[in-house]
Amino acid sequence: MRFRTCSYENELSQALRDGHWPKGCGQELRAHVDACCRCNDLVLVTQIFQQARSESEHAADDNSPSLLWWRAQLRRRNAAADRISRPITIAQAFAWFITVLVAVVFVASQYRHGLHWATWRSEFIPSRILHQLLLAGTGQINLNPFLLTSGFAVLALLTAFVVYLAWEKP
């Protein structure tokens, strides 16, 4: 089978589309269709497909346009809600990542210095820590300003996050 074109094809296609075939067409075109395999195929296929389409027009359809409209509105709303909550989800994932990273770094550093897990208990005396903080507040002890600033920044961030969660929950 070789692909070839026929000069009558466009005219014939138009006649078939408009429903002019065969009565609305000239003798010349009809004679050509009888002789040309390609145009003969076109007429046969188009007529059968058009018949099938017109029969399908009467098919029962259980869908209701108003129900589809309502479902589409619902889907649109859900998509909008997803779009809005995406930054929060990303922030939560980022917070988890940072937490895990800090924990891993801490465990790794502790492992490098030897696992003396219980030693902190002997050093942890609340009254002594409070005394140190009071001294730092009065300027009698020089604390590392970088550590102090970063500590307050982390505390502020955590406070803001907790306040946000507390506002969001109700």
Partner 1 sequence: MDSDAFAGFYLRSAPALRAYLVRVSGNTALADDLMQESYLRFLSASCPEGGEVNYRRYLYRIATNLLRDHWRRPRAACIEDVPEGLLAARDALSSIDSRAILDPAMARMRPRERQLLWLAHAEGYSHREISEITGLSVAGIRLLLFRARHKIARLLRKRIDSVRGKV
| Smallest distance, partner 1 to C-beta of residue 14, A | 10
Out of 23, 27, 35, 52, point to the residue binding partner 1 (CB under 8 A).
52
> Residue 22, preceding bond cis, omega within 30 degrees?
yes
Q: Which stretch binds partner 1 (CB under 8 A): 27-35, 71-79, 83-91, 123-131?
A: 71-79
The DSSP H or E segment spanning 118 is none
Asked if residue 55 binds partner 1 (CB under 8 A), the reply is: yes
| Smallest distance, partner 1 to C-beta of residue 59, A | 5
Tell me the one-letter amino acid at 134: L
Quickly count: other Cβ atoms within 10 Å of residue 105's Cβ. 10
Q: Which stretch binds partner 1 (CB under 8 A): 50-58, 93-101, 106-114, 154-162?
A: 50-58
| Smallest distance, partner 1 to C-beta of residue 23, A | 19
Q: DSSP assignment, residue 141?
A: S
Q: Burial of 18 by CB count in 10 Å (0-12 exposed, 13-18 middle, 19+ buried)?
A: exposed
Q: Burial of 8 by CB count in 10 Å (0-12 exposed, 13-18 middle, 19+ buried)?
A: middle
Asked if residue 85 binds partner 1 (CB under 8 A), the reply is: no
| Smallest distance, partner 1 to C-beta of residue 8, A | 15
Nearer to partner 1, 61 or 168 (CB): 61
Asked if residue 7 binds partner 1 (CB under 8 A), the reply is: no
Q: Which stretch binds partner 1 (CB under 8 A): 36-44, 123-131, 137-145, 159-167?
A: 36-44
Interface size with partner 1, residues (CB under 8 A): 34
DSSP string, 34-93: HH-HHHHHHHHHHHHHHHHHHHHTT------HHHHHHHHHHHHHHHHHHHHHHHHHHHHH
Residues of the shown chain interacting with partner 1 in the complex, contacts defined by CB under 8 A: 1, 3, 17, 38, 40-42, 44-46, 48-53, 55-59, 61-63, 65-66, 68-69, 71-73, 75-76, 79
